């Protein structure tokens, strides 16, 4: 009970370029906030960069929502040999109204390679950035991606036919 504890507060930055997404949704992002907190309102900064910098003391206690956004991590539901990427599912995801950008990592696009089942952030198969002015539309697109990713990767599981 009295022994030391490690508490993670998730201070590391995200693996995708989230800054444009969060800047569009709330007007600033964690990277700019970090710089503002570390550097303050340094007087020696070039005057022509003033409009590009955040002033820490001017940030609101709670962000004001300008748009709604999310990052969806694509997952592999099974482990095995990749047969193919389901082009129809991939195209449907790309064409959803809320999808701004997406990537399926190259190692998950080569038929014949062995792919792992997603168990953590290091084994996800890609990502999608979503943004929409309508929170319901964003939620519908998010839910559709979650459904489509179940068949996005066609994988031959050892001892079974294609899964």
Confidence (pLDDT) at 38: 80
- Which ranges constitute the DSSP H helices of 3-162? 19-26, 30-39, 87-94, 135-148
Confidence (pLDDT) at 162: 46
Domain layout of the chain by residue ranges: 19-58, 68-156
Confidence (pLDDT) at 14: 65
Q: Which residue has the tokens 């979650």?
A: 146
Confidence (pLDDT) at 57: 85
Confidence (pLDDT) at 106: 96
The values of phi and psi at residue 92, to 5°, are: -65, -40
Confidence (pLDDT) at 11: 60
Give the Cα separation of 72 and 91 in Å (integer): 16
Confidence (pLDDT) at 158: 83
The number of beta carbons lying within 10 Å of the beta carbon of residue 104 is: 18
Topology of domain 68-156, per CATH? Aldehyde Oxidoreductase; domain 3 (3.90.1170)
Which residues of the chain carry a pLDDT beneath 50?
162-163
């Amino acid at each position: 009970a009295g022994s030391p504890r490690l508490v993670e507060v998730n201070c590391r930055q995200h693996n995708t370029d989230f800054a444009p997404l969060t800047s569009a949704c709330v007007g600033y992002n964690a990277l700019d906030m970090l710089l503002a907190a570390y550097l303050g309102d340094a007087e020696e900064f070039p005057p022509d960069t003033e409009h590009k910098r955040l002033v820490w003391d001017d940030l609101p206690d709670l962000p004001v929502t300008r748009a709604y956004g999310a990052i969806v991590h694509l997952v592999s539901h099974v482990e095995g040999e990749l047969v193919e990427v389901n082009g129809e599912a991939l195209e449907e995801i790309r064409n959803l109204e809320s999808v701004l950008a997406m990537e399926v990592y190259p190692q998950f696009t080569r038929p014949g390679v062995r792919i792992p089942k997603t168990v953590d952030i290091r084994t996800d198969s890609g990502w999608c950035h979503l943004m929409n002015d309508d929170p319901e539309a964003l939620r519908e697109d998010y839910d559709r991606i979650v459904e489509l990713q179940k068949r996005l990767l066609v994988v031959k599981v050892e001892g079974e036919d294609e899964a």
